[in-house]
A and B are shown apart, each in its own frame.
Chain A
């Protein structure tokens, strides 16, 4: 309604990541178990706005979503010299851990989508004890590439348009038009080369095949949820990954694609509510 103000609070926190200071924008709502949400490649934390404003979730969770450096309202580092951005497994892992430390979050739940889902697997491999539970959306240890990322950042192709057009096919046909367009708008607004730089982690540096077997879900529960229309990280990719991890819980989500939380928030809620409920129950 006209005049409604959402419960989300947005602030900046200064975070030391591997010796460099970053001014990180984050949004939050709720109280209780810290729940840190990671956006997809080339996008920003606005993807989580529906989860952030979910009153039922906010009663039990402190829901926090931050823009990765270079994304949304989080700038590159202060001494950026114009060189090309490139995300690595080590840098991504350090960023998440540094952000959680800066906010003094006590054993948060981390939920990530796409690249965020992939890095959640790395957190489970190397840092499980720091987290209460891990949730990977559209997550797998590896998936086959389906386009050449050099198209994403070159002067003769509009970067925003091509990024959005590429990922448009990852949204389920049943998703509401308004949510589809809002999801794509985020891609049209990404900085030049940022989506491509994120995909360096996804395509080149972050291959976790042969490592996920080390995940111990007794130390930290792991939930994997993938949309049936995601042809980038397919349900088969997620199921194959989960088959190597004892105790991993897999859900294939109907009528959803690669951006469940933003492309169809109501449909996503049907799947994520039981997961958050289980985490809440085990934390009592």
Chain B
């Protein structure tokens, strides 16, 4: 797995907003948070998947093996394939990760319905493991702090 500081540094240089940078930083911490959530890893134990997740303009290639994120690399990566992508605006992620998110920001599919997120590609791995992805992508909620931009 790439060093998280390296990933954050990659994007931090390219991001103008402190809050956007906080969202990227939070994404880099998801693999470690997942490793500390054994029940969630068990939920995803049948899942092996390449996917693209993260803020709309700065997503990550995630390699999932048996429910663990074994690699998280900032896109673009030359000719790297993915089966599905879930990308949301940094503001939407920041709202989603509040302790009590506002209505409309509290669920991945609420975000797609309101147009703040896009779900694309071959959706089968996402739908077949929907609660897993909802819970994995909510992991930063436990320690995310909104940064005023």
Q: Give the A-binding residues of B (Cβ under 8 A).
A: 100-101, 103-104, 106-110, 112-114, 123-124, 127-128, 130-131, 134
The number of chain A residues touching the other chain, given as a range, is 20 to 34
Which residues of chain A have C-beta atoms less than 8 A from B103's C-beta? 228-229, 231
Please give me the residue from chain A that is nearest to B119 by CB atom. A147
A164 touches B131 (CB 8 A): yes
Smallest Cβ-Cβ distance to B128: which chain A residue: A157
- Report the minimal beta-carbon distance from B119 to chain A, rounded to whole angstroms: 10
Q: How far is the CB of B117 from chain A (nearest CB, A)?
A: 12
Provide the bound-state CA to CA distance between A147 and B124, in Å.
13
Beta-carbon contact of B106 and A146 below 8 Å:
no
A271: CB under 8 A from chain B? no
Q: Look across to chain B and name the residue whose beta carbon is closest to the beta carbon of A161.
A: B131
Shortest beta-carbon contacts, A-B, top 3: A169-B107, A165-B130, A165-B131
- The smallest beta-carbon distance between B22 and chain A, in angstroms, is 21
Q: Does A151 belong to the interface (CB within 8 Å)?
A: yes
Given contacts A166-B130, A168-B107, A170-B107, 10 further A-B contacts (CB under 8 A): A146-B112, A157-B127, A157-B128, A162-B130, A165-B130, A169-B106, A169-B109, A172-B106, A174-B100, A231-B113
A84 to chain B, nearest CB (A): 20
- What is the bound-complex CA distance between A166 and B130, given in angstroms? 7
Interface pair A162/B128, CB less than 8 Å apart: yes
Q: Of the candidates B113, B128, B131, B134, which one forms a contact with A146 in the assembled complex, judged by CB atoms under 8 Å apart? A: B113
Question: Which parts of A151-165 form the interface with B (CB within 8 Å)?
Answer: 151, 156-158, 161-162, 164-165
Q: Flag if A162 contacts B107 (CB, 8 Å).
A: no
- Asked if A277 lies at the interface with its beta carbon under 8 angstroms from chain B, I say no
| B106/A173 in contact, CB under 8 A | yes
Q: What are the residues of chain B within 8 A of A168 when measuring CB–CB?
A: 107, 131, 134
Given A146-B113, A151-B127, A157-B127, CB of A169 within 8 Å of CB of B108: yes
User: In the complex the two chains form, what is the Cα distance from A210 to B34 in whole Å?
Assistant: 49
Whether the pair B128, A156 counts as a contact (CB closer than 8 A) is yes
Residues in B whose Cβ lies below 8 Å from that of A144: 113
User: Smallest CB–CB gap between B24 and chain A, Å?
Assistant: 24
Give the CA-CA distance A236 to B60 in the complex, in Å. 35
